[in-house]
Structure 1
Amino acid sequence: MRLIAASTYSFNQLISAGTITQLESISLAKELGFDAIEIVDLIHDNQLSDQEYAQELRNELNRLEFPITNFTFGADFLNGSNGNFDEEVAHVKQMIDIADILGAKSVRHDATSGKSGYSFEQVLPTLVRGCLAVTVYGATKGIMTMVENHGLFSQDSTRIEALYAAVNHPNFKLLVDMGNFLCVDEDPTLALSRLAPYAGYAHAKDFHLKPGQDSHPGEGFFQTRGGNFLRGAIIGHGNVPVKQCLTILTLAGYEGPLAIEFEGMEDNIEGMRISLANLKRYMT
């Protein structure tokens, strides 16, 4: 049976409030019954270097005998590092070094948030150069690199498929997030069916969806690119067809981990507890 990981992003409510640290979220995930952890960014007080903090996280993982399934961080080959492409590539390579310290065998970096006045097709060659440079580097360390359907500009399944095809490297895969397709108003089942064959990792996520023709539902909701309204949900409580998405991944041959990424307004612990129970039920 595949591993179910908790994304540390799912505990951001508690981490931001200072109730727990990112380090403590690892033991919390294990207490909740998860099999593993996905670490998102490095959140620490800067008294340690990133390398020292990564080693501290690795020591905690070893102490708990709790595996890491992925290291996720941001990147932008158009706008990052003040628009300096070479510096942004170097930054991503440094984060791959951090992944190596953590013991992660895969990373997710973003491609870009877009650039005003430019289409995806126009910037695609630059994105390909960036993704190819870092995946070649990752391969030397045995670390697979991925981009995710994430960030509106780089979220459509057709755009991500085009990027994947153009990079065309065996160490480059996709992190497919079944919920994120709704951010660009795509049907999750159709979009996931397109990308599932290229998946190196997968997020389980749910959203409450309300049509854009209605009045704004209020606090907690954000708008999709097409003006619909979304709010993070407990797995099984929202409008994402989670069970069918699991079937799509299975039919495509994906047998890797699933990480729950919870973005709801509910208490993080209760939200993750119920999400895990529902996901396990859908997998049986």
Structure 2
Amino acid sequence: MTLTRRAFFKYSGLAAASLEFTSGFLATESYANVTKKPFFEISLAEWSLHRTLMSGKLTNMDFPAKAKNDFGINAVEYVDQFFRDKAKDRSYLSELKARTRDLNVRNVLIMVDTAGPLADTDDAKRNQAVENHYQWIDAAKFLGCHSIRVNLRGTGSAQDMALASVDGLGALSEYGAKNNIGVLVENHGGFSSDGKWLGNVIKKVNNPFCGTLPDFDNFCLERSQSDCIKQYDRYLGTEEMMPFAKGVSAKSRDFDAQGNETTIDYKRLLTIVKNGMNKNFKGYAGIEYSGTRLSEDEGIRATKLLLEKIGAQIS
């Protein structure tokens, strides 16, 4: 159920008990232990709550309030599929904008997954995908976001898909530039998870409004059904994408008893991020918890604490 504007401030305030979770490591660690500010800001990617949203227990409209009240996060990254029919609905967007303004929550970007393949080698399909993305640039501009996040999906050889990507991404970035909205590519499987390939595409587009959003875990080049059979080195890939990055996606899946991510060396990655930041970096590391052992709320808190700890250590 969507909360009324008057009532949404009462939505699930921060409770001390909510900071305890099943892994147990927060029994000895707390947000109070982190005193030095990280070199980046923390935002919350809506996908972290995708199960809650898909169940109907939370709506896109109420997402910013949950980010602020439950996690103390003042910046949000939306996912288009959770308000896919609202991109042109100014009444809806006005209400969302008003809520975030009243909460003092920053709208950072919109992740676009449902608008079509920007790297399709079929000209008609690719051009249609470019046009489908326009509405999300318009929505991002209205909400005060700095960018939209896109994918380079398609089929064909590395060379053919690179040519298609430069064309589709280039056209979309021109529209983004006119609206002062960045168009950021995330490594999201296939050739886009090859950091060198993606970097070359961005160079050829040659538009300051075209960049990357490195994801800490999406480096699978080839899959067989659900299993990854060819993986790109995540640390090399992040390093190759950072010169074009305007933010990063802090993916997490599980944590050990000390609060470390079990498959990702966060200190190594955040060091790469810090060393590779450029003048266009917008300063946000977006929490994207995608695990299953911890609840979504628990995983978000664990990721936030890890970012704060490691970010402070290397600031």
Indicate the residue corresponding to 1:195 in structure 2: 241
CA contact (8 A) 1:8 1:26 kept: no
Moved >6 Å (runs of 4+): none
Is 2:41 the counterpart of 1:3? yes
Q: Structure 1, unaligned stretches of length 5 or more?
A: 207-231
Structure number with greater Rg is 2
Alpha-carbon RMSD across the aligned residues, in angstroms, is 2.4
Give the 3 Å change call, closer, same or farther, for CA 269–191 of structure 1 in structure 2: same
1:258 Cα offset (Å): 0.6
Partner AA of 1:188 in structure 2: R
Give the 3 Å change call, closer, same or farther, for CA 81–271 of structure 1 in structure 2: farther
Q: Give the number of aligned pairs.
A: 256
Partner AA of 2:145 in structure 1: A
Any residues of structure 2 matched to 1:167-178 within 5 Å, and which?
167-178=205-216
Is 2:106 the counterpart of 1:67? yes
The answer to which of 71-80 and 239-248 deviates more is: 71-80
Indicate the residue corresponding to 1:166 in structure 2: 204
More contact order relative to length (CA 8 Å, sep ≥ 6): 2
Q: Of 286, 289, 297, which aligns to 1:262? A: 289
1:82 Cα offset (Å): 11
Is 2:254 the counterpart of 1:239? no
Identity %: 27
Partner AA of 1:68 in structure 2: N
1:146 Cα offset (Å): 1.2
Give the 3 Å change call, closer, same or farther, for CA 46–236 of structure 1 in structure 2: same
Indicate the residue corresponding to 1:91 in structure 2: 132
1:247 Cα offset (Å): 0.5
- TM-score, normalising length: structure 2: 0.75
CA contact (8 A) 2:250 2:288 kept: yes
Give the 3 Å change call, closer, same or farther, for CA 29–138 of structure 1 in structure 2: same
Take 1:190 and 1:166, find their aligned partners in 2: how far apart are those partners? 20
1:76-126: CA deviation from partner (whole Å, max 9, x where unpaired): 1255999523222111112111111221111111121x32xx212112222
Take 1:80 and 1:109, find their aligned partners in 2: how far apart are those partners? 17
Take 1:125 and 1:174, find their aligned partners in 2: how far apart are those partners? 17
Any residues of structure 2 matched to 1:81-160 within 5 Å, and which?
84-112=125-153, 114-115=154-155, 118-160=156-198
Q: Structure 2, unaligned stretches of length 5 or more?
A: 1-38, 221-227
DSSP 3-state at the match of 1:154: helix
Indicate the residue corresponding to 1:56 in structure 2: 95
DSSP 3-state at the match of 2:202: helix
